[in-house]
Chains A and B, each alone.
Chain A
Amino acid sequence: MNFLSLHRKIERHSGLLIFGILVVSSIGGLVQVLPIVLDDSHSAPAAGLAVYSPLELEGRDIYIRESCSTCHTQQVRPLLAEVKRYGPYSRAGEFAYDRPFLWGSKRTGPDLARVGGNYSDAWHHVHLLDPRAVVPASIMPAYPWLAQRDADQGRTIAARMRTLRMLGHPYSDADIAAAPAALEGETELDAVTAYLQSLGRSMQGTPQP
C-alpha cells in the first residue's frame, strides 16, 4: 500500500474523496485551534479587568457597527518602537470580554489599545464629529449621526447583556435591570466615547513594556 495507489482509490470514490479532504483539512485546526479554544487559560481575564459597563458595551457595539476595526487595530505588539509609541504591549487576558475580538488587521489610523484616558471626552466628541477639526491631515470619516442618535435606540441593552451573561460575562441581575436607565439621556456619541475611554484600562499605570 502506497500513497499513490491510495490516491487512485480515493479519486474513484466520491465518498472517500470527501472523507479524505475532511480528514486532511482538519489536522491543522485540531492542532492549532482546538487546544487554544478548549484551554481555559486563554480566556481568563487579566487581574483588574472589568466587564464593559452598559454604556461602554453600547459604544463597543456601535464601534462594531461602523467597522472601526477596519482601520484601527487594538493590539500593541511586543516591539520596542511600538511599545514606545503606544504603551505596554497587549496581553491575552485583556480581551476576555471581547466578543468578537477587535484586534483588526490594518492600521490606516493609529492603534487604540491604549487610547483610554489619553484624550479628554471633549476631544473625542470633537474628533468623532469632525476629525479634521483637531487633526487637519486626518482621513477618518466624520460621524455626525452619533450625536443625533440616542444610545440604545432599539432598547436591546438588557437582551444583549443577558446574552453575554450566558457566555460567561459577570453581569448581575441588578446590573442588567439598571442598564436601560443608565443609558437614558446618553447619545451614541457618549457611548462610543465611553468605550474608547475604557480601552487599555486594566493596564493603565503599568510601567513599560
Chain B
Amino acid sequence: MLDYITSYLRSDTTPGQAGNILWAVVYIFLIFAGLSVAVIAMNWLERKILAHMQVRLGPMRVGPHGLLQPIADALKLLIKEDIMPAEADKFVFWMAPLVVVMTAFTVFVVVPFGATHAVTDMNIGILFMVGVSSLSVLGIVMAGWASNSHYPLIGALRSSAQMVSYEIAMGLAVVSAILMTSLNSAGTGTLSMIGIVQAQQAQHVWFVFKFFPLGMIAFFIFAIAMVAETNRAPFDLPEAESELTAGFHTEYSGFRWSLFFLAEYSAMIAVSSIAVTLWLGGWLRPFSNSLTGDTWEMVFSLIPGLSFLAFAAMCFLGVFRMPKHRAFRMQTMGLAGFGVLLGGIGLLLFVPPVRYRVQDIFWFSAKVAISMYMYIWYRGTFPRYRFDQLMKVGWKVLLPLGIGVLVLTAGVGVL
C-alpha cells in the first residue's frame, strides 16, 4: 500500500498517466477544494476590487474587511427557500444547474497546474477542454427554456447564439497556437495541455510572443472570445441585468442559483487556464530566457513564499490600522489570525522540497489570477454590447482575423 502511494511520487508524470487511481482521486479532491476556495476568494476580490474602482469600500462588516462575506452569502443561499415555478418543466429545470456545474468542473481534469500537477494528461487535452466547456451552453439553454418565462428564454437564446458564434473565433485562435507546437524537428504538434507547455519550454518562447505579432493577435482574439464565452461584461447579454433582469437564471433562487454562480466563476477560471496554457507558458516562470542560472532559479523559487509573506504583512498592516475599540476586537484578532495563516503558508513555501514541487502551481495560479483581474477590470470599465454588435464583433472582426492569423501562422511555420 505504501509502495503504491510512494511509487507515484517518484514517477515523473501525472497520476492519470501513471495509472494511479488513488492519487488521481486525491488530485481531483484537491482541485475541487482549490477551485471552491478560488471561487469564494474571487467573489470577495471582485467585490472589493470593483468597490475600490468605484470609490466605495465594498463588504466591510462580515469579518475583517468583509473576508467572511462570501461565506455568509453562501450560507444565506443555502438556507433560502428553493422556488420552482409552477409552470416550469421540473426535470429540465432541475437538471440545468447540474449540467452547468458538471461541465465547468470536468474541464479541470486536464488543466496542467504544473508538469506533474494535473489529474491526467489526455492527448486531446485542449480539444477536451474546449468541447466540454462548450457543453455548458446546453445547461444555460435548458435553464432558460425550462423556466417557462420570457426573460430567461431570451437570455438563453442570446447565450446560445453568442457562445456558438464565439466558439468559432476561439477555436481558430486555439488552432493557431496548436500549430505553433508543431515547430520542432519531428514536425508533429500536440493537443495535450502538458505537451503544449512543454513545446513552449522547448522552443524557449511563450506562444504569445511567437511570430510577433501573430501569437499576440491570436491571444487577443482568444482573450476577447473567452470573455464572451463566459458571459461576462462587456458581453454579459444573456444575464444583462438592465434588460433581462437576470437572464437565464431569473427564475432560479437559493442553492440552484448558487450553482450557476459557482459554474460561472469556475468557467472563468477554466478559460483563463486555457489562455495561460496556450499562450502564457502555463507553469513556466517569467524571464526564463534572460534571467537564467542557478542564482536566478533560486530567486524565482523564493517568490511564491515571499508573495505570501507580503500578503501576511498587508494583513498585519490592516491589524494596526483597525480602530482600537472593543467592538473591533474580534475582527482584529481574526485579521491577525488570517495574517498568521498566510505567513505560515509563506514560510512553508520556503522549505526546499515543497518549494520545488509547488512553484509550478504558483506561477500558473498567478497568471490565471492576472487574467481574473482583467475580468473584474473589464466589468468596471466597459458598457455592455448590444446583441447585433456582439454578433458583428464575433463574425465580422474576430472570425476573419482568426482565419488570417491561422493562415499566416501556418505560412510562417512552413517557412
Instruction: Tell whether A and B belong to one assembly.
Output: no
Question: Residues on B close to A: CB < 8 A?
Answer: none
Question: Residues on A close to B: CB < 8 A?
Answer: none
